Chain A
Amino acid sequence: MTTTTYSISRSSTVTRTAAVVGILVVAGLIAAPWWAGRADMRLLSEMFLYLSLACLWNLLAGYAGLVSVGQQAFVGFGGYMLFALAIFAGVSPIVAIPLAGILGALVAVPVALLIFRLRGAYFAIGTWVIAEVFRLSFAQISALGGGSGTSLPVAIVRGMASNRSMREATTYWLALGMAVLVLVVIYMLLRSRNGLALTAIRDSEVASESFGIDIWRHKFVVYIIAAGLTAMTGALIFLQKLRISPDAAFNVNDWTAFVIFIVVIGGIGTLEGPIIGVIVFFLLRETLSDLGTTYLLILGVVAIVVMLKAPKGLWGTLKERTGLELFPLSRRVVKNKSDK
């Protein structure tokens, strides 16, 4: 006799294959200093850092409904904290990176208390004001070069590793490590109770509130985590650049507009989206950047067209048609047939 039982499953053959492929890709990327050239490694590092920023923005906007156009506040803050800790406290840059993250999370607490009073699109512009306040404040600190900025002292840079290629490999691994850390943190967060609450809030705020979910607290936690990790990413970005100034550190185009573009193209509200988005963005940038302003015009048009014609982005559209999922996040009912 055949009975049918049902069970709830998250993983599938696709997600297990994706996990194996993912691990192989990361292993290959770890070995990059042995097979890639200097320029390729710089480009890859930049991609990893943009991937981190994009995943974090996606966590805020795509999962927690917190659309921020002021994430450059934390990128710049993290960068400045790295420089301040290294120059004034003599902290090694490697140690200063997580410290910058912790400081970023701490400074996000009062920011969130203020900015969470605004809703929707007004929240978005409010975050931008905060970023401007950060930019103008850091421009007033003459010990950090004021408006014209400062460079990381050569001695500190030399202290990171014995020679130049080792130093470049170190910053590369840090960038790769950052992207992996961000992906793992977001993955764990989304699979936890907090992630379930976020999904419920996204689907219906009213219904989830009636089930006793504290919407404010969940959003607050996500905002603080995203701010801390964004500040860490910012510290790494400016460790690579070795030079910081208020206008570069708190640049809305570099650290927010491009990031939003990446997420929207790839697919908002999916973990895979930012990965696809980063690849597409860098392909476009590397082929069109000679065009100067025209390149940005094209980017603006592409963003509008994607938003109007395929608001779920490349991955979201694909997922809708095929049900494909690389990260095992959603639950599905599986039919099991067994003979008894």
Chain B
Amino acid sequence: MDWINAIIQGILLGGLYALFAAGLSLIFGVMRLVNIAHGDFIVLAAFLGLSVTSVLGISPLLALLLVVPAMAALGYVLQRGILNQTLGDDILPPLLVTFGLSVIIQNGLLEIYSADPQKMSAGPIETASIALPGDLNVGVLPLIMFLVAVVVIAGLQWVFYRSALGRAFRAVSDKQDIAELMGLNKAHVFGLAMALSLAVVAIAGVFLGIRTSFDPSIGPGRLIFGFEAVIIGGLGNLWGTLIGGIILGVSQNIGAQINPGWQLLAGHIAFLFVLAVRPRGLFPRID
């Protein structure tokens, strides 16, 4: 039963990892930009959530109403102000500039909030659980997180393939100059993509902050999980990202079940195994 439990909890944890990964996958798909500061943005969102909940005295889930637009606005401004200048054939500028941003966010958070671990409380919902047959229990909160992940990914999928904004994303991603000739403002479209990415990051960050304790230094670890989920699932495939997150969550939980010291290692090994066998991921987008 312990094993089945570990797998179920791993699947639910995978939802959170998919949320880490979705934003990363989205901006890579649109502008081939890999955001090294992605994990630090997740932590920043968690701290913003913490500040909003403690100042206004509201539930972290309500705080999302403020954190999501704030992060989206930050994403748009950063993209227009700094990141657009780094885009081109060379991969170094975006990599190094987001690396610099990562250092700035980590140390800025350290300065403001100190290195103490923090946690947000979502009230009685945190301990509520649903009993399943066979002595299994599923936490209500992890279940909500998983369902939100599914809804977010379905939403992104819809935006990307069914909306005018998604058409702009795909057009700019395919051929920037021709998209511009058709009247699209590349800088603006990229700004919107980063805004959407950080809106998803905001949800991921607040959920992370409810689920576990966090401190300013944990960003890079979240970036790695997100990145692994993207590669396992297959580059550019949003549903693949969800499956990648689930595989990562399940392998971590199985690893932890064998030996607590192997939790993270098991996730990394699952990632390296997929890389060795299917370098383009399990479900690469056909293009």
Is B220 located at the chain interface by the 8 A CB criterion? yes
Provide the B97-114 mask, 1 if CB < 8 A to any CB of A, else 0: 101111110111011000
13 contacts between A and B (CB under 8 A): A117-B279, A118-B231, A126-B231, A129-B227, A140-B261, A140-B265, A264-B96, A268-B92, A303-B96, A303-B97, A308-B85, A308-B93, A308-B97
Measured between alpha carbons, how far is A252 from B220 in the docked complex, in Å? 10
Interchain residue pairs A-B with the least CB separation, the first 9: A121-B34, A300-B103, A117-B279, A300-B104, A304-B100, A303-B100, A293-B107, A120-B91, A300-B100
B128-136, B142-150, B268-276: which lies at the A interface?
A: B268-276
Task: Give min CB distance, A327 to chain B, whole Å.
Answer: 22
- A: residues with CB less than 8 A from B are 61, 67, 69, 114, 117-118, 120-122, 124-126, 128-129, 132-133, 136-137, 139-140, 252-253, 257, 260, 264, 268, 293-294, 296-297, 299-301, 303-304, 307-308, 311
Residues of B within 8 A of A (CB): 33-34, 36, 82, 85-86, 91-97, 99-104, 106-108, 110-111, 220, 223-224, 227-228, 231, 235, 261-262, 264-265, 268-269, 271-272, 275-276, 279
CB–CB B279/A133 < 8 A: no
A255 to chain B, nearest CB (A): 14
Given known pairs A114-B276, A121-B34, A252-B220, the reply for A296 and B95 (CB within 8 Å) is no
Shortest Cβ distance from B264 into chain A, in angstroms?
6
Least Cβ–Cβ distance between B169 and chain A, in angstroms: 19
Known contacts A257-B103, A297-B104, A300-B104; A136 and B265 CB within 8 A of each other = yes
Q: Which residue of A lies closest to B265 (CB)?
A: A136
Partner of A125, one of B94, B224, B265, B272: B224
- Cβ-defined contact, A299 with B103, below 8 A: yes
Q: Which residues of A contact B95 (CB under 8 A)?
A: 67, 69, 121, 124
**Residue on B nearest A269 in the bound complex, by CB:** B92
Which B residues touch A300, using CB under 8 A? 100-104, 107
Q: Which residues of A sit under 8 angstroms from B268, Cβ to Cβ? A: 129, 132-133, 136
User: Closest residue to B223 on the A side, CB-wise?
Assistant: A125
Q: Tell whether, in the assembled complex, residue B265 and residue A296 are in contact, meaning their CB atoms are under 8 Å apart.
A: no
CB distance from A128 to the nearest CB of B (A): 6
Contact A67 B265 (CB under 8 A): no
Q: Tell me if B34 and A124 are in contact (CB < 8 A).
A: yes
CB contact between A304 and one of B97, B231, B235, B264 (< 8 Å): that residue: B97
Selected from A114, A120, A124, A304, the residue in CB contact (under 8 A) with B272 is A114
List the A side residues contacting B223 at CB < 8 Å.
125
Chain B residues with CB under 8 A of A268: 92
Which chain A residues lie closer than 8 Å to B104 at the CB level? 297, 300-301, 304
Min Cβ gap A119→B in Å is 9
Minimum CB–CB distance from B228 to chain A (whole Å) comes to 7
Cα(A24)–Cα(B144), bound, Å: 69
Q: Are B96 and A129 in contact (CB under 8 A)?
A: no
Q: Complex formed: what's the CA distance from A188 to B94 in Å?
A: 31
**Which of A128, A139, A260, A304 counts the most chain B CB atoms within 10 A?**
A304
* Chain A hits for B86, CB < 8 A: 307-308
Q: Is there contact, CB below 8 Å, between B272 and A294?
A: no
User: Contacts of B110 on A, CB cut-off 8 Å?
Assistant: 293
Q: Is there contact, CB below 8 Å, between A303 and B103?
A: yes
Residue of A nearest to B276 (CB): A114
A26 to chain B, nearest CB (A): 31
Interface centre among B95, B111, B276 (most CB of A within 10 A): B95
Closest residue to A62 on the B side, CB-wise?
A: B92
Nearest chain B CB to A124 CB, angstrom units = 6
| Nearest residue, chain A, Cβ from B112 | A293
Q: Is the CB of B91 within 8 A of A67?
A: yes
Give 8 A-B pairs besides A122-B227, A300-B107 with Cβ atoms closer than 8 angstroms: A118-B275, A121-B33, A121-B34, A125-B223, A132-B268, A297-B104, A300-B103, A304-B104
Contact present for A121 and B272 (CB under 8 Å): no
Q: Enumerate chain A residues within 8 angstroms of B101, measured Cβ to Cβ.
A: 300, 304
A293 to B111, CA, bound (A): 7
